Amino acid sequence: MSHNTFGHLFRVTTWGESHGAAIGCVVDGCPPGIPLREADIQPYLDKRRPGQSKYTTQRREADEVRILSGVFQDDEIGGQVTTGTPIALEIQNTDQRPKDYSEIKDKFRPGHADYTYWQKYGVRDYRGGGRSSARETASRVAAGAVARKVLDRLLPSPVTIRAALVQVGKHKIARGNWDWDQVDQNEFFSPDADAAKEWAALIDGARKEGSSLGAVVEVVAEGVPAGLGAPVYGKLDADLAATLMSINAAKGVEIGAGFKAAELSGEENADEMSREGNAVKFTSNNAGGILGGISSGQPIVARFAVKPTSSILTPRKTVTKSGEETEIQTKGRHDPCVGIRAVPIGEAMMACVLADHALRHLGQGLTFGE
């Protein structure tokens, strides 16, 4: 991954700041002939869109995506399809209310990238965090929608990529209650209906106090064939780790049993194999579907931890650009649990990494199954 690009063959370059005219991305390497319209992308953006409940930021953005290149309305094919050339996606920034930036212009917000951007670049777009704002992730979600179409085209059977919130603050879901159908029925993408109720209270409490809560997101890809990934630095889990860790506020990533694997014995940890019909069956999935950096055919399971947003309504100690000690306090819009909106972003990153590796697999002269 270079500065603002990720992927090798399914390559996504994003650009834009929180309060600039627009944000967007260029998706390069997409195979041709894949039906692609704005309507294929918009639902994913809608899922990530801010201002949808009192549990997330009140910034209001339509987040309408436009496809500016890389598709063609071919009447013979009978619709708009990709052409194999770069796909430019663009989203206007609409909610840029005139604001008083004097508070954040010269003060570094603790926990934010203000201080480090300034140390690195000597100049920073302080409006809403500029480039370091989570607004950038809208571009990822748009690219993820394209990646899903690519996977549909390339893989021998359908892949299901889903994510869910599995922890808010210290409260974790009950694994036994996992129900994918629940995920879209609550405002937290919780697979556990009971947990959703608890979180509603927890997050609303944090919101009223002007505080914030961290969270853990789990992303699962089912139907991925064995063989995706590559030794040694192109491991599927290494790429997942990089892309998930690159999500704003992420502080940890794990695959399968993850950190718990450190506590298991070799007997407990290594997933045994048996036969089921003509297929290989694993008796457990501590590996999270990846062995030696290559998919095993089991569901790919990744989790990432999201820290509580640092924009809280309590005054915090900090320093100014000129080095004086001071205090700072976030005013106005406030997001009590940024982890919620990280769910569709996690899905998008999984989709992009898988699309990239599907192409890389083909690009080493390999095929999928028969």
The number of residues that bind its own copies (CB under 8 A) is: 157
CA nearest neighbour of 161 among 145, 178, 177: 145
Select the span of 45-53, 56-64, 186-194, 310-318 touching its own copies (CB under 8 A): 310-318
Supply the minimum distance, in Å, between the C-beta of residue 67 and its own copies: 9
Binding to its own copies in span 147-166, by CB under 8 A: 150, 153-154
Supply the minimum distance, in Å, between the C-beta of residue 169 and its own copies: 6
Tell me if 223 contacts its own copies by CB under 8 A.
no
Binding to its own copies in span 251-280, by CB under 8 A: 251-259, 261-275, 278, 280
Supply the minimum distance, in Å, between the C-beta of residue 88 and its own copies: 4
Distance (Å) of CA 284 to CA 256, 269, 273, 281: 10, 9, 9, 9
Neighbour-count burial for 198-214, b at 16+ CB within 10 Å, e otherwise? bbbebbeebbeeebbbb
CA nearest neighbour of 154 among 228, 101, 220: 228
Supply the minimum distance, in Å, between the C-beta of residue 265 and its own copies: 5
Which SS3 state, helix, strand or coil, does residue 114 take? helix
When binding is defined by CB under 8 A, the residue of 157, 176, 283, 370 that contacts its own copies is 283
When binding is defined by CB under 8 A, the residue of 42, 115, 178, 329 that contacts its own copies is 115
Supply the minimum distance, in Å, between the C-beta of residue 186 and its own copies: 19
CA–CA separation, 204 vs 279, rounded Å?
Answer: 48
Which amino acid type is present at position 139? S
Tell me if 175 contacts its own copies by CB under 8 A.
no
When binding is defined by CB under 8 A, the residue of 243, 343, 345, 346 that contacts its own copies is 243
Tell me if 323 contacts its own copies by CB under 8 A.
yes
Distance (Å) of CA 152 to CA 11, 178, 196: 17, 26, 31
Q: Cβ distance 269 to 286 under 8 Å? A: yes
Structure tokens at 273: 């194999």
Nearer to its own copies, 45 or 155 (CB): 155
Residues contacting 358, CB < 8 A, separation 6+:
10, 150, 151, 154, 155, 228, 368
Tell me if 218 contacts its own copies by CB under 8 A.
no
Q: State CA 171 to chain mean position distance.
A: 21
CA–CA separation, 256 vs 298, rounded Å?
Answer: 11
Binding mask 13-52 for its own copies (x = CB under 8 A): xxxxx--xxxxx-x-xxxxxx-------------------
When binding is defined by CB under 8 A, the residue of 294, 300, 350, 354 that contacts its own copies is 294
Supply the minimum distance, in Å, between the C-beta of residue 303 and its own copies: 8
CA–CA separation, 87 vs 95, rounded Å?
Answer: 25
Tell me if 81 contacts its own copies by CB under 8 A.
yes
Tell me if 68 contacts its own copies by CB under 8 A.
yes
Tell me if 339 contacts its own copies by CB under 8 A.
yes
Q: Cβ distance 60 to 6 under 8 Å? A: no
